[in-house]
Structure 1
Amino acid sequence: MYMDLYLTLAIILVGVFLFVKDYFSIDTTSILIMVLFIVAGVLNPEEGFSGFNHPATLTLGCIFVVSGGVFNSGILNGLSDHIIKLAKIHYVVALVVFCVITAVFSAFINDTAIVALMLPIALTVCRETNISPGRLLMPISFAALFGGTCTLIGTSTNILVSSYAKKYGLEEFGMFEFSLAALCLLVIGFLYIFFIAPFLLPKRKEEDNELTKKVEEYVIEIVMVEGSIDINKAIVNSKLVLDYNVNIMSIMREGVLNYDLGPKTIILKDDVLKVVLPPQMVHKLLDVKGYKIKGSKLINSSDNYNVYEVIIPFGSDLSEGSLRSMQFNRRYNMSVLAIRHRGEIIFDKLSSVKLMEGDMLLVLGEKEDLKNLEDKKLVVTLSEYQKKKIDLKKAIPAVLIGIGVVLAASLNLTTILISAMVGALLMVLTRILKPIEAYNAVEWKVIFMMAGVLSMGTALEKTGGDQLIASFIQDTLGQYNPHITLSLLYLITFISTNLISSKATAALLTPVVISLAAIMEVSERPFLVAVMFACSLTFMTPMSYPTNTMVYAPGNYKFNDFLRVGTPLNLIIWIAASFVIPYFFPF
């Protein structure tokens, strides 16, 4: 028995190390932890894989479909014109409008989807009003986090913790049971965002932010003249590619412009190549025989081809791979010209860069191919915002189904799992979503991550690790009253969430705080709410929550920007939560 306990704690420590070091994606690490528990014999296969049919996982999957139906109906796009019109009045008005609308919708719809919708709208406002994106995008992300805590379905963490409570024989949380407490923290947070954050947010100029303008400086045209070593060579074997790290966008040959290039495309004499190359290579090429350098500007793309700024959203299949490994050019018929990766703009050896969520790409291609990437949820377009047409035949029933799911659960007519399942089924039966669209609406990365991290809680419960940790906490904090214990647990939770996944933190701490409440002979309710709030309200780093990661590159933020703006907010909310939670959930 003790051996299983030691193995459990060792595997959890390995998992925490992998989460912090970010060697693998979060879902991969979560599944790896689950497999280690099974291989080590701590959990049998049925127990290990039980996370996939756990109520939290099933509920979350159905909620994705319901919110996807509402989102895809275009009903939210109907507000875009009004948002843009109001936001143009003044920066403060823009800040209030974007934060309030984001928070309201994030309470009922997947927060990453809401932020993905708001990003291009906010950037449109920034371009037309000369507001720096850095002064707007971080508050939008923070508003989404505050909104998500207001309802049971606002975040996957809320669903996970509530499902754990039921598993332990406790009462599930109601749809709006912790809304008043969450709204108190939201008001405090918004006061900070509206009156203090504007003085801390970066004021970098818009022209310093646009990836397109950065790349323009390094786009040239090269004419292949007599004597060039690259004539009659395939692109992949050319000196331009091998020695000068050139990215060839197009070839003009006998007056015909060709963008459909592959590694084996042959370069001929008198071809005019439009290329992006690393800045340090520009002067080197001037001294090489066989190449005639001409000036060029990227925006002068012709035909149906254009240049777009896009971002890799949370859950995209493009993350964790390289352009070469996924054969991006061939598969999606688009070329990547530059990458903004964790604050750094990369022109060199793009095909080998490991892409991550939140990376910005500058891509060249046709509008239809870009739409294909968007439809597959691989990218979100930032460089332009086009309002989607609202289909009222889908929008009205989609909204009614969404309201029905919320009401059925909040009025205790049925459980949130049943109401979400019925809602998801109705989205398909009423043809608001096609089956493939319903499948695509599910963020499978989150589902696999949830299933994986749930195994940690199961292993702790089975081996008695939760009681051991709870007893240790009680012995350590036993001299304090429950209010101080809750405050310290909140502090530990939000610090842990800034280091590892919020879901992993919730899965680890939920069984522990339930055992701790039993040992202390107090209600477990305030401790569970503290875990919910602390796991979601994380502002200190761009990696602490997917929405923070999404705004990192478009806002041209640096890591220290999040520390400077987010740390005071996290401390303020921690202190406020220490008083607000016990008030609404007495011990």
Structure 2
Amino acid sequence: MNLELAVVLALLIAAIVMFAIGRPRMDVVALLMIVALPLTGILSVPETLAGFADPNVVLIAALFVVGEGLSRTGVTYRLGDWLARTAGASATRVIVLLMLCVALLGAVMSSTGVVAIFIPVALSVASRTGISVRQLLMPISFAGLISGMLTLIATTPNLVIDAELRRHGLSGFGFFAPTPFGLVILALGIGYMLVARRFLGAEAIADAGSRTSFGSLILDYGVDARTRRYRINAGSPLIGQRLADAEFGGGAMVGVLVLERTRLWRKTVRTSDDDTILTEGDIVVVDLELPSAERRRLRLEELALTPDFFESYSRQVGMAEVMIAPDSSARGLSVRSIRFREKHDLVVLGVRHRREAAGPAFPVIRLAAGDTLLVAGGWDSIHRLQAQRQDFIMLDLPAEVKEVAPAANQAPFAIGAVLVMVTLMMTGIVPNVIAALIACLLMGLFRCVNMPSAYRSIHWPTILLIVGMLPFALALQRTGGVDLVVDGLLGGLGDANPTILLGGVFVLTAVIGLFVSNTATAVLMGPIAIGIATQLGVSPYPFAMVVALAASAAFMTPVSSPVNTLVVEPGRYSFLDFFKVGAPFTIVVLLVSVFMVPLVLPF
């Protein structure tokens, strides 16, 4: 072992130890490695910083933005709603459905992107079912890795191995060549995680149940007894009027919570906007019960109001309690006279005066310090009201604030952008990173995301961690570290049975994959696997397939794959969490590979 190799191994071991003890933070460790490697003289500064220009790093950043677009438009939450409805409170059903969705979607697009998309889904399901986030996020990362074993295009290492076979003048793998092994491993992985999740603990969700909800607020203020939902039919005198000028029962509208409008195939939901022009077919949700004679005059059709109506709009329409401050300019005035809707773009739905709900007469009651108002409207307007501390004191926001989808009306465009990205990735018309950037641009064009939300969505600690570990692949190659390990394997198992050598290739690939990216691992191990098969005079396909499967079996550490790194912080996992759950399953994948691959791809 030369001195340069000893230095690289020392840095690598130091990084692993710091990852294991959790001090300092993982991204800080990565920065330390970025600083240390050029000081050794083994790598230059440009070589060490090359990860910032790596297409995979840019791809990961772009996929964070795509995930944000799906979150802001409510797509992830709707998927979470479906999962929660289908699975109920059963952790078993939730895990099975999550892993199936991630694995099957990851078979046709980047597994890193799929995991980034499903993290908010898992968080949403966990908050509603009470299942520990720690028991959901690691199964997602495992399913993301397994997805790489389902199709040829599912992960870069598969394509690297396929290219290596062709470079040696052999036929490459077919699109579904890995599928038989991947399906078996997926089934075993789901069963394994249903048992292994118990080793991750059942940490309670932070602040669960500490907030009020829409349901409790509308009961406290008696809103449920007054709110009605009406459709504007043809011939109504309201058609063509501004919302602010619309009159019901001879007086100005007390409050409009929601305006529902369907155009072509899109249903949109708007909060009260005074300048909105009412049209035929619009549905208005008003804080007012109209007599039947008035409904006939205005040609309004009353529609059903389901018990969960307010919750169904909670991602676009906000609700909050505000208290009249001691020095508020609103003291002594009525709700009607303070023109709350005009000044703050919010509707007052009810008042609690002297600790009692004021009932339908709340618009004319004179407000006193300590009275509370229930207001509704856009979440942005609610957050702006928080700054008006001199007049109004915002009380604790309801639990629904955690699942805000301010661009929910743009959900079809977000789904379309993702479909464009997946199609481009499947067909290979453009590189994956370009496909992801096109999706980002489409998200911005259709207002699924804006620039502030796009920048905030990128998880920079994850980016730094990946960039900081990438240079080790080049450093190990340059100093002969990988060659040293490979020579040891060939020398120790060179005359062994092909099945034993197959296992040796898997183990070596998995060990190298602990320290370098799975793509780099495939680049290093592809020619070695084919060379071993050539030396033994057997088919290279089982050896090549084992390398591809082992490269995706990066279950043992949080830094062995970006898929694992993504779930570390939201799941609050430690280095040892991954090792104690990932190591046994890696052995399962090893056994499946060693015994099943020769059956499908004979020597």
TM range (shorter): 0.5 to 0.7
Aligned equivalent of 1:447: 463
- Say which is worse superposed, 511-520 or 116-125, in terms of deviation: 511-520
Aligned equivalent of 1:291: none
Give the Cα separation in 2 of the matches to 1:560 and 1:464.
Answer: 29
The 3-state SS of whatever aligns with 2:553 is helix
In structure 2, the CA distance between the partners of 1:560 and 1:7, relative to structure 1 (3 Å rule), is: closer
Q: Which amino acid aligns with 1:149?
A: I
Give the Cα separation in 2 of the matches to 1:578 and 1:175.
Answer: 21
CA shift for structure 1 position 151: 4.6
CA shift for structure 1 position 458: 1.4
The 3-state SS of whatever aligns with 1:149 is helix
Q: 1:477 touches 1:485 (CA, 8 Å); kept in 2? A: yes
Q: Which amino acid aligns with 1:30?
A: A
In structure 2, the CA distance between the partners of 1:168 and 1:576, relative to structure 1 (3 Å rule), is: closer
Q: 2:5 touches 2:481 (CA, 8 Å); kept in 1? A: yes
Unaligned 5+ runs, structure 1? 127-132, 216-254, 258-301, 305-331, 334-364, 371-382
Give the Cα separation in 2 of the matches to 1:585 and 1:123.
Answer: 45
What per-residue deviation string (whole Å, max 9, x for no partner) do you get for residues 255-284 of structure 1?
989xxxxxxxxxxxxxxxxxxxxxxxxxxx
Aligned equivalent of 2:436: 420
Aligned equivalent of 1:239: none
Q: Pick the aligned partner of 1:573 from 571, 582, 589.
A: 589
Q: Which amino acid aligns with 2:147?
A: C
Q: 1:510 touches 1:531 (CA, 8 Å); kept in 2? A: no
1:106-145 equivalent positions in 2, closer than 5 A: 108=109, 109-126=113-130, 133=131, 138=135, 141-145=138-142
Give the Cα separation in 1 of the matches to 2:452 and 2:164.
Answer: 32
Q: Which amino acid aligns with 2:529?
A: A
Give the Cα separation in 1 of the matches to 2:595 and 2:36.
Answer: 40
1:166-245 equivalent positions in 2, closer than 5 A: 178=178, 181-193=181-193, 209=204
In structure 2, the CA distance between the partners of 1:421 and 1:101, relative to structure 1 (3 Å rule), is: closer
1:306-317 equivalent positions in 2, closer than 5 A: none
Q: 1:139 touches 1:193 (CA, 8 Å); kept in 2? A: no
Aligned equivalent of 1:513: 525
CA radius of gyration, larger in: 2
1:22-421 equivalent positions in 2, closer than 5 A: 22-88=22-88, 92-101=92-101, 103-104=103-104, 108=109, 109-126=113-130, 133=131, 138=135, 141-151=138-148, 158-159=155-156, 178=178, 181-193=181-193, 209=204, 387-389=403-405, 391=407, 393-421=409-437
Give the Cα separation in 2 of the matches to 1:24 and 1:153.
Answer: 37
In structure 2, the CA distance between the partners of 1:482 and 1:583, relative to structure 1 (3 Å rule), is: same
Give the Cα separation in 2 of the matches to 1:531 and 1:538.
Answer: 14
CA shift for structure 1 position 487: 3.0
Give the Cα separation in 1 of the matches to 2:460 and 2:95.
Answer: 32
In structure 2, the CA distance between the partners of 1:111 and 1:167, relative to structure 1 (3 Å rule), is: same
Unaligned 5+ runs, structure 2? 211-324, 328-370, 374-385, 388-393, 535-539
The 3-state SS of whatever aligns with 1:431 is coil
Q: 1:409 touches 1:419 (CA, 8 Å); kept in 2? A: yes
Higher relative contact order (CA 8 A, sep 6+): 1
Give the Cα separation in 1 of the matches to 2:143 and 2:46.
Answer: 36
CA shift for structure 1 position 445: 2.2
Q: Which amino acid aligns with 1:67?
A: G
In structure 2, the CA distance between the partners of 1:385 and 1:406, relative to structure 1 (3 Å rule), is: same
Q: 2:529 touches 2:547 (CA, 8 Å); kept in 1? A: no
- Say which is worse superposed, 485-494 or 452-461, in terms of deviation: 485-494
Q: Which amino acid aligns with 1:443?
A: H
Give the Cα separation in 1 of the matches to 2:596 and 2:134.
Answer: 28
Q: Which amino acid aligns with 1:150?
A: S
The 3-state SS of whatever aligns with 2:590 is helix
What per-residue deviation string (whole Å, max 9, x for no partner) do you get for residues 359-411 of structure 1?
xxxxxx9657x9xxxxxxxxxxxx76865448465322222222222222222
Q: How many residues align?
A: 414
* Length-normalised TM-score, structure 1: 0.56
Give the Cα separation in 2 of the matches to 1:21 and 1:149.
Answer: 28
Q: 1:51 touches 1:455 (CA, 8 Å); kept in 2? A: yes
CA shift for structure 1 position 453: 1.6
Give the Cα separation in 2 of the matches to 1:213 and 1:77.
Answer: 18
What per-residue deviation string (whole Å, max 9, x for no partner) do you get for residues 159-196 of structure 1?
588689989997999997755543331122223445x5
CA shift for structure 1 position 585: 7.2
| Identity of matched residues, % | 20
Aligned equivalent of 2:16: 16
Q: Pick the aligned partner of 2:485 from 445, 465, 469.
A: 469
* Length-normalised TM-score, structure 2: 0.54
CA shift for structure 1 position 535: 0.9
Q: Which amino acid aligns with 1:111?
A: V
CA shift for structure 1 position 510: 4.4
In structure 2, the CA distance between the partners of 1:39 and 1:170, relative to structure 1 (3 Å rule), is: farther
Q: Pick the aligned partner of 1:433 from 449, 454, 459.
A: 449
Give the Cα separation in 1 of the matches to 2:10 and 2:78.
Answer: 52
CA shift for structure 1 position 456: 1.0
Aligned equivalent of 1:456: 472
Q: Which amino acid aligns with 2:32?
A: L
